[in-house]
């Protein structure tokens, strides 16, 4: 515990700078009404990072409520099947609520409580961040409302009910593409209106500064644990880390602790959808360009006029038109490479890992697994790979059943 408490403090890192910039990316692009709230949040977060009581409380809940540390699991049959490097899974799917999202949600709701806020709002895509925020709000006794696109509500019915069960109001968003991006717009509109008493728990390393920083710091525990665990199990650092990238919080959480280890290769895997053509994917680095969406300069899927394009992915959690600014920066400096996996490849990996390891991965995590399926066979058996199993697939079984066995009746 004490080791965690000390190492959890914000280590001085060159990025973001004082303006929330990661090289050319990041920043704080919001209507004036929100600027003071973001400045207040930035100060409160800095204070909390240095506050031993806050840190001790967070560690306490992480250990006794979230179930941390999550295991680092050697996927022996998956490794054998691929016939290359040894593959480990970082089991964020075993964290309470079934995904890494709880790390950030719990941290932010604790912070909101410390700031004296009475009400929590959040956006959700797949529903995992919504469930995590609803859970943290329930744990800490704060009122919570979650915005969710109606298209996402349709494909994630189970999570909608889970949030309601947790005492959260789920507000349907039917504007625009009816997915994550539109839920964020609506959450920001709510925050602009109720900014005094409300904290907006943004669910990923995107949005205006300080959100990408706050979320990264609360997710860093993934990599901190994984680093210690791989040293214990293998006695050395991994060769390659693989994680899926929607907004990019589970990936930055795993990667950040290894950034200075120049021999550790890192691969972020975006959603290739059905084709790398407009409106058929969510691979921002493959099909996007620099732009500003929802508070941060980053890579954006947009047309020539700067209008944001619709996206598609089988995985609701990766179905977003932009990506965290720190990812754009780490790609620009060549530290992390970004690939994509198609819907079909993710569904194949989803089934493969379920069969071989008895672990049903989230469709998001299945994108990272799909990339492992591509590269691991040509790696040397002496090499070690860690894939972030960012979430469990229980929420996806209904959708997967319809896609994989369309001839059967799943009504």
Partner 1 sequence: MNRIVERFAQLKARNEKAFIPFLTAGDPTLAITKGLVLEFDKAGADVIELGVPFSDPLADGIVIQEAAQRALKHHVSLRHVLAMVKEIRAESEVPILLFSYYNPVLAYGVEALARDSKDAGVDGILCVDLPPEEATEYIAAFKEHDLATVFLAAPTSTAERIEIIAKCSSGFVYYVSRTGVTGEQESMESGVRGMVAKIKEHTDLPVAVGFGIAKPEQAAEVGDYADGVVVGSAIVRLIGELGDSPDTALMAGALVKSLADASKGKG
> Which residues form the interface with partner 1 (CB under 8 A)?
19, 27-37, 175-176, 181-182, 184-185, 188-189, 192-196, 290-295, 300, 302, 304-308
381 contacts: CB under 8 Å, gap ≥ 6: 84, 85, 86
Residue number, 24 or 50, with CB nearest to partner 1 = 24
Angle between helix 211-219 and 101-114 (nearest 10): 120
Shortest distance, CB of residue 185 to partner 1, whole angstroms? 5
Known catalytic residue at 40: no
Known catalytic residue at 390: yes
**Owner of token pair 């209507």:** 31
Residue number, 188 or 282, with CB nearest to partner 1 = 188
Distance CA 227, CA 209 (A): 27
Distance CA 105, CA 114 (A): 14
Burial 135-172 (b: 16+ CB within 10 A, else e): bbbbbeebebbbbbbebbbebbeebbebbeebebebee
Shortest distance, CB of residue 301 to partner 1, whole angstroms? 11
C-alpha dist (Å) from residue 163 to 122, 156, 168, 170, 403:
12, 11, 5, 7, 25
Residue number, 18 or 53, with CB nearest to partner 1 = 18
280 contacts: CB under 8 Å, gap ≥ 6: 273, 274, 312
Burial 394-408 (b: 16+ CB within 10 A, else e): ebbbebbeebeeeee
Residue number, 31 or 381, with CB nearest to partner 1 = 31
Shortest distance, CB of residue 25 to partner 1, whole angstroms? 12
Q: Where are the beta strands (DSSP E) in 135-262?
A: 143-149, 169-173, 198-201, 240-244
Shortest distance, CB of residue 103 to partner 1, whole angstroms? 26
Known catalytic residue at 157: no
- Partners of 49 in the β-ladder: none
Shortest distance, CB of residue 162 to partner 1, whole angstroms? 27
Of the listed 62, 92, 123, 186, which one is catalytic?
Answer: 123
Burial 188-204 (b: 16+ CB within 10 A, else e): bebbbeebeebbbbbbb
Residue number, 36 or 344, with CB nearest to partner 1 = 36
Of the listed 86, 101, 178, 395, which one is catalytic?
Answer: 101
Shortest distance, CB of residue 246 to partner 1, whole angstroms? 17
Shortest distance, CB of residue 27 to partner 1, whole angstroms? 5
User: What is the SS3 assignment for 17?
Assistant: coil
Residue number, 94 or 183, with CB nearest to partner 1 = 183
Of the listed 178, 339, 390, 395, which one is catalytic?
Answer: 390
Shortest distance, CB of residue 141 to partner 1, whole angstroms? 25
Distance CA 148, CA 186 (A): 9
Alpha helices in 358-407 (DSSP H): 363-375, 397-404
Catalytic residues: 101, 123, 390
């Amino acid at each position: 515990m004490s080791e965690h408490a000390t190492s959890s403090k914000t280590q001085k890192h060159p990025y973001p700078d004082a303006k929330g910039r990661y090289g050319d990316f990041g920043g704080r692009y919001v209507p004036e009404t929100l600027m003071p709230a973001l400045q207040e949040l930035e100060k409160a977060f800095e204070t909390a990072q240095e506050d031993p009581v806050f840190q001790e409380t967070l560690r306490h809940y992480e250990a006794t409520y979230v179930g941390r540390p999550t295991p680092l699991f050697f996927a022996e049959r998956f490794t054998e099947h691929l016939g290359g490097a040894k593959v480990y899974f970082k089991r964020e799917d075993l964290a309470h609520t079934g995904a890494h999202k709880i790390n950030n949600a719990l941290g932010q709701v604790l912070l909101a409580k410390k700031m004296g806020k009475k009400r929590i709002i959040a956006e959700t895509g797949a529903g995992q961040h919504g469930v995590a925020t609803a859970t943290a709000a329930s744990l800490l006794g704060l009122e919570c409302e979650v915005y969710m696109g109606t298209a996402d509500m349709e494909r994630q019915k189970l999570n909608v009910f889970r949030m309601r069960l947790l005492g959260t109001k789920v507000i349907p968003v039917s504007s625009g593409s009816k997915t994550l991006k539109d839920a964020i717009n609506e959450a920001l509109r709510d925050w602009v209106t109720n900014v005094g008493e409300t904290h907006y728990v943004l669910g990923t390393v995107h949005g205006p500064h300080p959100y990408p920083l706050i979320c990264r710091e609360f997710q860093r525990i993934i990599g901190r644990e994984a680093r210690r665990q791989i040293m214990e199990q293998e006695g050395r650092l991994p060769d390659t880390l693989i994680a899926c990238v929607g907004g990019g919080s589970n990936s930055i959480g795993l990667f950040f602790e290894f950034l200075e280890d120049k021999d550790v290769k890192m691969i972020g895997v975006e959603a290739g959808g059905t084709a790398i053509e407009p409106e058929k994917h969510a691979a921002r680095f493959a099909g996007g360009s620099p732009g500003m969406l929802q508070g941060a300069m980053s890579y954006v899927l947009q047309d020539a006029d700067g209008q944001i394009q619709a996206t598609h992915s089988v995985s609701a959690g990766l179905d977003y038109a932009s990506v965290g600014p720190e990812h754009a920066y780490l790609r620009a400096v060549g530290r992390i490479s970004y690939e994509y996996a198609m819907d079909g490849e993710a569904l194949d990996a989803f089934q493969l890992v379920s069969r071989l390891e008895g672990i049903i991965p989230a469709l998001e995590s299945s994108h990272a697994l799909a990339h492992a399926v591509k590269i691991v066979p040509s790696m040397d058996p002496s090499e070690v790979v860690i894939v972030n199993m960012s979430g469990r697939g229980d929420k996806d079984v209904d959708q997967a059943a319809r896609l994989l066995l369309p001839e059967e009746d799943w009504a």
